[in-house]
Structure 1
Amino acid sequence: MDKATEQRSRMGMVPTRNQILTLGDLEDFKNDILQEVKRIVKECASGVPGKKWLKSAEVKKLLGISHGFLQSLRDSGVLPFTKIGGSIYYDYDDITFMMSANKSA
């Protein structure tokens, strides 16, 4: 949900089933959807996630590796991570650095 929608929601301006929508409301909705679709397409086309910090499941999917292999990368210090509570986060820049540093000619 974008900031404008959140603000309308807090102000009680999010329509219910029985309310009439204006053309402006529909235009805003269309723009919100288009913006999100463009972000998703850009992310998929570039292969670069749209965020800096990735969770373990995202890293495993990105690199096509198992949970055990990701664990061994952490344990060996090859891939730095940050643990907050029970969640482990990886900096996307650290992942790309690790891949570049281990690239063979």
Structure 2
Amino acid sequence: MEIVNIEASAFMEMNDILFKIEKQLKGLNSSKSELNEWLDNQDVCILMNISDRKLLSLRQKGLIPFSRIDRKIYYKKEDILSYVRNNLKTYTNNGNGTAGIE
């Protein structure tokens, strides 16, 4: 095993640089998790169990906000979940074989 001696000031400077690199890497990890919050057309269709044509209709009516990068469309997950919550209809069995909306 080889032992290398360095000055204390050089060691402290190296330590500070490593700390800055670690801080930048942690920042990259947090921004990556924000990217996971976005869904594409296929994800939204599967999540909502709708066709791509229905999704286009919701987009054109302005009911679901979206962002476009080149020709690809993305949706914030929270916007989709909010739309689903606000437009959720609950069905109950009326006891006579018919379903009613609450």
Q: Which residue of 2 aligns with 1:103?
A: 88
Off by >2 Å, runs of 4+ in structure 1: none
Q: Which runs of 5+ in 2 are unaligned?
A: 1-34, 90-101
Taking only the aligned residue pairs, the percentage that are identical comes to: 36
Count of equivalent residues: 56
Q: Which residue of 2 aligns with 1:53?
A: 38
Q: Which runs of 5+ in 1 are unaligned?
A: 1-49
AA in 1 matched with 2:70 = G
Which structure has the bigger radius of gyration? 2
Q: After alignment, is 95-104 or 51-60 more displaced?
A: 95-104
Which structure's residues are more often strand, by fraction?
A: 2
Q: Which residue of 2 aligns with 1:92?
A: 77
AA in 2 matched with 1:60 = C
AA in 2 matched with 1:52 = E
SS in 2 for 1:62: helix
SS in 2 for 1:93: helix
